[in-house]
Amino acid sequence: MDDAQNTFPENNGKIGNKAVPSDTFFGSCISARATNAHHIVYTRDFAITREVEKYLSVAKYAVFATRNADRSAWQLEALLAIAQAKGAETELVVISTCAPYDLLNAKLVFPFAYLATFEFTPPALETAARVIFGEIKPTGKVPVLGGDVL
């Protein structure tokens, strides 16, 4: 596909998108910066479809957004499914779009970059996209695990 699109694949016969405005806004922030971007909103019953596998097999980067995943294990299950399905050349960025605790107790054994926005607002999500694409350098400290922002 030549243009960035929002893609909402079927999951077990159900359309998997009940996207809220901030979800679609973040997708548009990524799409504005990446050609052939595909925005996939995952749900509790998310499954890797052939369509998702196809996208991951040609993707150079994948951005996976969570929101309060420390209280919603299904989000981490979807993240693991994406991590297992992504091609070896696909770099993964995980973005916590609310509190920075999403991966605190997760046992993830694959390489990824992690970014926390601390809020689920359009300005925070736009800033996250700018960081991901190298337009600005993040500064500050994440108060979880004593992590420095690089």
User: What's the confidence (pLDDT) of residue 5?
Assistant: 36
Say if 27 falls within a structural domain. Answer: yes
Say if 100 falls within a structural domain. Answer: yes
Say if 48 falls within a structural domain. Answer: yes
How many whole angstroms separate alpha carbon 85 and alpha carbon 90?
A: 10
User: What's the confidence (pLDDT) of residue 143?
Assistant: 74
User: What's the confidence (pLDDT) of residue 145?
Assistant: 60
Picking from 55, 52, 29, the residue whose alpha carbon sits closest to that of residue 136 is: 29
Tens-digit pLDDT profile for residues 93-146: 999 998 888 888 788 888 888 899 998 899 999 999 999 999 999 887 777 765
Tens-digit pLDDT profile for residues 45-55: 888 899 888 88
User: What's the confidence (pLDDT) of residue 20?
Assistant: 58
Q: Phi, psi (5° rounding) for residue 92?
A: -115, 130
Mean pLDDT, rounded, of the chain: 80
Structure-token pair, residue 122: 């359009």
How many whole angstroms separate alpha carbon 110 and alpha carbon 128?
A: 22
Alpha helices in the chain (DSSP H): 21-31, 50-58, 73-85, 122-132
Residue 43 in this model has a pLDDT that exceeds 70: yes
Contact 117, 124 (CB under 8 A): yes
Residue 92 in this model has a pLDDT that exceeds 50: yes
pLDDT (mean) for 8-27:
54
Q: Name residue, tokens 């504005």.
A: 32
Say if 147 falls within a structural domain. Answer: no
User: What's the confidence (pLDDT) of residue 14?
Assistant: 39
Contact 95, 102 (CB under 8 A): no
Say if 92 falls within a structural domain. Answer: yes
User: 79: domain CATH number?
Assistant: 3.40.50
User: What's the confidence (pLDDT) of residue 21?
Assistant: 63
Say if 148 falls within a structural domain. Answer: no
Which amino acid belongs to residue 7?
T
Structure-token pair, residue 135: 């337009």
Residue 3 in this model has a pLDDT that exceeds 60: no
Residues 6 or more apart whose CB falls under 8 angstroms from that of 84 comprise: none
- Measured N-to-C along each axis, helices 50-58 and 73-85 cross at an angle, to the nearest 10 degrees, of 60
pTM for the model stands at 0.78
User: What's the confidence (pLDDT) of residue 123?
Assistant: 93
The domain in which residue 77 lies consists of 5-132
